[in-house]
Amino acid sequence: MKILVTGAAGFIGSALCMKLLDRGNTVIGIDNHNDYYDQSLKEARLARHFNHPSYTHLRIDLSDRAAIEALFEEHKPTHVANLAAQAGVRYSIENPLAYIDSNIVGFAHILEGCRNYEVEHLVYASSSSVYGANKNMPFSTEHNVDHPLSVYAASKKSNELMAHTYSHLYKVPTTGLRFFTVYGPWGRPDMALFKFTKSILEGNSIPVFNYGKHRRDFTYIDDIVEGVMRVIDEPAKSNPNWNGETPDPSSSSAPWKVYNIGNNQPVELLTYIQALEDSLGIEAKKELLPMQPGDVLDTYADVADLFKHFDYKPETKVEDGIASFVNWYRSFYSI
């Protein structure tokens, strides 16, 4: 297997590259190294696998059509894990066009590469954000996802629809993975755990939206990567029982599938903060605030499909995952 990983200097992408290389795959990693957050952290992540003999790194933006075409022509990957995206719900409210360029135009370029070079399987990151205004719990891939609450969520829903079209028209096997609030060592500085840890250690207050009452299905990075590894090895297949009169939203007559990857154990934000306080040994100064625009109240992953097809579901407890993050943070920043 020769696997193209987009977003290879990112939180999930870098962790995936390491695991793929460890098991003997050839990996081509691409990343645009943008300045959405601290570029030195991206470089440090990348340094962990940059010099591996089976790894090739290219600094390319997904929106650069010619560069993506040249990449597929030269390297001819057998599999693709598309993890590159403009991330963040709140940033999408301020800069929606950044999401169109990267998450929609860029994804179209990846789909074209997969079509033209007969890639065996495209696995791509979707998001729990696609569930939007849905209030049925737990979130199931059989639920309607037509009411996104942010441009970020809409871009991820668009990816699923675009992938389906390519699976239908060109028989490209595609699998979308709806990640649920990924956290852990080497994480993103724009996410709550990173920001909370920094503020608490500096003695600053932390903003706690919805007064800490909303719940998230926090999913540890190692569990996410294990799920991606299992899925990428099994190309999506058409569902022979699918029919348009009673359509299953999670599968198709085309080789297309979507799965949730979440911890299946939602945790209230105040409980999450308590686990962080326990790991740091410091009580946080909390600024309790109302809900933010674009946020959803709760997320809760139904992972029955993932377990049925891959005999796998995430299981890392939040307390253990946060402790691992805090240990990494103190070491990385010499605190």
Question: Which run of H or of E encompasses 121?
Answer: strand 121-127
Cα 237–159–55 angle (5° rounding)? 80
Helix axes 318-332, 192-201, angle to 10 degrees: 60
Q: Catalytic: which of 37, 99, 152, 272?
A: 152
b/e sequence 29-52, b meaning 16+ C-beta within 10 Å:
bbbbbeebbeeebbeebbeebbeb
DSSP code of residue 292? P
- Residue 80 has φ and ψ, to the nearest 5°, of -135, 135
With beta carbons less than 8 A apart as the criterion, state whether 181 and 221 touch.
Answer: no
- Choose among 223, 209, 192: nearest CA to 88: 192
CB-based contacts of 73, cutoff 8 Å, min separation 6? 117
152 is catalytic: yes
CA 327 to CA 98: how far, in whole Å? 33
Strands 205-209 and 285-289: parallel
- Strands 55-59 and 26-31 turn out to be parallel
Q: Structure tokens of 170?
A: 């060109």
Contact between residue 102 and residue 30 where contact means Cβ atoms under 8 Å apart? no
Q: State whether residue 170 is helix, strand or coil.
A: helix
Tell me the catalytic residues: 152
